[in-house]
Structure 1
Amino acid sequence: MDEVQVVVAHSERATLRVGDVFLKVDGDPGNLEVEVEAMRLAPVPTPEVLWRKPNVLALAAVRGAALGRLGEPSPASPDAWAAAGAAVRKLHEAPLPPWSAPTSEEIGAKLDGECEWLIANGVLPADLVIRNREVAELAFRPWEPVFAHGDLQITHVFTEGDEVTGIIDWSEASKGDPLNDLAIMTLGHEECLDDLLAGYGTDVDVDVIRAWWSLRSLQASRWLIEHGFDPNEPGAEFDVLRAAYERS
């Protein structure tokens, strides 16, 4: 009998694995609707949908292994990272999905609220938060929206050899900033950025990617803390913010 493995679980959603089947349980069925439609539209490998109920989605496991984990060196080869970059470029060149992400104004307002919370609660030194907020401002430049994954963590991109075998967790997919996807993939793995961009195949402003590293880390920290995760683990969000502070 296959054991039930809890992949992730918190108050909003949970993912379980039973053999080669993943069960995603979400308190908001709209998230699963977006995920299924995004996978249908995306021109890249995605998991097979086995069945769906209002709050539960069953997906087949994809071949291969994730590009890596936050806080650990990536085991994937430079060619695998380049293949991932090419897959992301293919996604970004696809027709736009019919739904939108938050506007820059909404993102900026939320970011300011998160910075205020981090300082008011003594979670991080004020000067570190303020400097990273300044770095993040560059992300709010004009940009052309693309079909964006929206949560393209390296644990969501699977490869086998030098082939991308699947991209998972599409509930945040929307019209979005292409450099946000590239930034999320390389958060805490700056050493892999050149290989990713070699496959992505276009001129990219690395300073904007760094801005998104700061933005993402500032914006995610409270959520991580409140849902039982630790952004202060080695290589995680707090280390990203400290590196940006030292770089500046």
Structure 2
Amino acid sequence: MTGDIRTLLSRHLPGYRVRTVRRLGQGLDNLVYEVNDELLVRRNKAANPETLRQEVARLAAVRELSPLPVPEVVFSDEEWGAIAYRRLPGGPLSTNPVADPRSLARPLADFLSALHGTSPGRMHDLAPVDRYPAPRLLEDAELDYRDVEAHVPAGHRHLVERFLREDPPDEPRSLRFCHNDLGAEHLLVDAASSTITGVIDWTDAAIADPAHDFALIYRDLGPEVFELTLSHYEFDLDAAGRARVLFLARCALIEDLAYGLSTGPAHYADAALAHLTRTFG
């Protein structure tokens, strides 16, 4: 497979000297390779030219509006379902914890204000509309929980089970452009300076409920960082919005727990269990 990556690079970057190619990881849909410690090449397992064109255009638009660094596309290949970016500095926050997460709140607020303040019409052709209803999310969460219930400490199961018995929140009245998967694994940081060096993986970006972006901040960084981020956010989040944030954070934690205990990296499950009581308490 690394030979395929070399062939791809020779097609788009003739004369570029490839010294090293190593596979970084694999998701449900993609394989990711690092080249010369400076390029990342992602190949989709099922190439979709229209989706790839949309992603390239979306990243170009996001680079114009985001106050935080986002990937710069070097080339894309519709036939191979591949896209190459320049590697951003830093490492994922999920595996590179910072000394003071509160220092991330202001840049996250500025970032979300820029994203959510963008006219949905401007992004209409660059991102799909995501209206997955809350009752369906709650059903999905219950199915996931039943698969992993035995891995949840017995003394904490009542917290999750109480949540699963509650009514889902009302749907949002308006949708905005969102990253839509703003977990710690997609925030690059310099751990030594507690700074954000980039926001990656825009494949799930959508016109959606802004609560989705805040929910993963709540799940991964905790209520204090969530509240501090919200204090710098340019827009209002009313009581109904807060209820959706908490609901989505809890659904996302259950999803990560199930993913980490099945096909995903184990650190997803470890983080989910570590954050369970503060997310469901």
* C-alpha displacement of 1:144: 1.7
Q: 1:162 to 1:68 in 2, by over 3 A?
A: closer
1:4-153 to structure 2, matched below 5 A, reads 4-10=21-27, 12-18=29-35, 19-30=37-48, 32-42=52-62, 43-44=65-66, 45-54=69-78, 55-63=81-89, 65-66=90-91, 68-69=93-94, 73-75=97-99, 78-96=102-120, 97-98=123-124, 99-104=128-133, 105-119=135-149, 122-124=150-152, 127-134=158-165, 137-138=168-169, 140-153=170-183
Per the alignment, in what secondary structure is the counterpart of residue 52 of structure 1?
A: strand
1:193 aligned partner: 226
Structure showing greater relative contact order (alpha-carbon pairs closer than 8 Å, 6 or more residues apart): 1
1:219 aligned partner: 255
* C-alpha displacement of 1:57: 0.9
Partner Cα separation in structure 1 for residue 104 and residue 87 of structure 2: 19
Which digits, 9 at most, give the CA deviation of each residue in 1:167-224, with x for residues without a partner?
A: 2100001111111101213423114223322332344354543322211012333233
Q: 1:13 to 1:145 in 2, by over 3 A?
A: same
1:237 counterpart = 2:261: no
Partner Cα separation in structure 1 for residue 206 and residue 269 of structure 2: 29
Partner Cα separation in structure 2 for residue 7 and residue 201 of structure 1: 37
Q: 1:118 to 1:79 in 2, by over 3 A?
A: closer
1:175 counterpart = 2:201: no
* C-alpha displacement of 1:27: 1.3
Gaps of 5+ in 2: 1-17
Q: C-alpha root-mean-square deviation of aligned residues, in Å? A: 3.1
Q: Is the 8 A contact 2:216 2:249 kept in 1?
A: yes
Q: Is the 8 A contact 2:215 2:246 kept in 1?
A: yes
Q: With structure 2 as the length reference, what TM-score do the two structures score? A: 0.71
The letter for the 2-side match of 1:201 is E
The letter for the 1-side match of 2:219 is L
The letter for the 1-side match of 2:130 is A
* C-alpha displacement of 1:29: 3.1
Q: How many residues align?
A: 239
The letter for the 1-side match of 2:274 is D
CA radius of gyration, larger in: 2
Per the alignment, in what secondary structure is the counterpart of residue 117 of structure 1?
A: helix
Gaps of 5+ in 1: none
